Amino acid sequence: MTKEKQRINAEEVVSNLSDFALFLTVMKNREAYRNTLSIIMDEPEIEIEQVKVEEVILNKSGKRAIRLDAWAKTKDQRIFDMEMQNEGHQDSMPKRSRYYQGMLDRPLLRSGKRTRYRDLPSTTIIFITQEDIFQKDLARYTFTEQCEEVAGLKLDDGITKIFLNMTSKKGSPELISLLQYMKNTDIDNPEIEVKDERLLELDRIVNEVKESEEWEAVKMDILDVGIQRGMELGRKQGIIALIETCHEFEHTKEETVSSIMKKFELSEETARNYVEKYWKE
């Protein structure tokens, strides 16, 4: 494959802000994060003090750790985490948000008698999805804790969970425009309702990122991974086809293992695992 062909394929893989790699690369930029968060939270004057991407929070008990997509702290000490979720149907997003929330709080409170729970900053987790996981046709779903017995009585624990849905057009024009821009990252996208200064600034940064050497390197890394996965998938299909052929011609399992080892240069253990998995009695 020529370098030019590789470049075209890589561009096709990651061209929209909804793509994980582009999202992370752009959100490293504090102004990009600020403009995005400003639209989501409807806070034009929000100020960002710190931004981190792909930050790992370990669970000291040895349980599952989490990797935050794009974490930020505002100048008024609020914590935000934005997660780009393109495979929400594969697991429970509400329960994922619950786990993330618990892990997000772990590093925020120091040990010691002088530390109080009231010192915990407010935290907001934002999941951005390309599907409507709640099926109510809203662009934004916001959840906070409140009492079931007393209407209007909020827990005020400082926790907010927001789920954004790219499929709906029911929401503020600014939010709809941002989500449609993420889905199809072209400022001339006809689905964009409002081109306010924050979205235009975000688009400028996205274009700068796409023209940078860093992004060229990221795209090529993605392409290399894709090629490797394709090769692995092709080899797997070839092994399965060989197993089916051996079975059809009444070869024994041992003969089939030997054929796989020879043709695909695999160890006996790996070849045997394939036969045990795909041999049809």
Q: What is the mean pLDDT of residues 95-124?
A: 76
> Confidence band (pLDDT; 50, 70, 90) for 240?
confident
86: pLDDT strictly greater than 80 = no
User: In the prediction, which pLDDT does 225 show?
Assistant: 61
**What region does 156 belong to: left with phi over 0, alpha with psi -120 to 50, or beta?**
left
H/E stretch holding 163? strand 159-165
* Token pair recorded at residue 202: 């975000």
Contact (CB, 8 A) for 163 and 93: yes
C-alpha distances (whole Å) from 233 to each of 20, 38, 158, 276, 277 are: 22, 42, 46, 18, 16
Contact (CB, 8 A) for 10 and 223: yes
62: pLDDT strictly greater than 60 = no
User: In the prediction, which pLDDT does 7 show?
Assistant: 42
C-alpha closest to that of 170 among 148, 151, 150, 193: 193
Q: What is the mean pLDDT of residues 108-113?
A: 59
Cβ within 8 Å of residue 159, ≥6 positions away: 101, 122, 123, 124, 144, 145
User: In the prediction, which pLDDT does 10 show?
Assistant: 45
DSSP 3-state assignment of 101? helix
Tell the residue number behind the tokens 């925020």, with chain if given.
Answer: 108
* Token pair recorded at residue 13: 């893989």
Cβ within 8 Å of residue 53, ≥6 positions away: 24, 27, 28, 68, 69, 70, 71
12: pLDDT strictly greater than 60 = no
Tell the residue number behind the tokens 């940078």, with chain if given.
Answer: 212
pLDDT tens digits along 202-219: 999 999 999 998 888 887
User: In the prediction, which pLDDT does 146 show?
Assistant: 92
Global pTM value:
0.73
Looking at per-residue confidence, does 11 or 251 come out higher? 251
Q: What is the mean pLDDT of residues 97-115?
A: 71
Percent of the chain with pLDDT over 90: 49
Rounded to whole angstroms, the Cα distance separating 166 from 177 reads 10
Rounded to whole angstroms, the Cα distance separating 69 from 149 reads 36
Give the best-scoring range by mean pLDDT among 38-52, 205-219, 234-248. Answer: 38-52
183: pLDDT strictly greater than 70 = yes
User: In the prediction, which pLDDT does 33 show?
Assistant: 97
pLDDT tens digits along 259-273: 888 888 889 998 899
Cα–chain center distance at 144: 23
Rounded to whole angstroms, the Cα distance separating 83 from 44 reads 21
29: pLDDT strictly greater than 70 = yes
Q: What is the mean pLDDT of residues 146-174?
A: 94
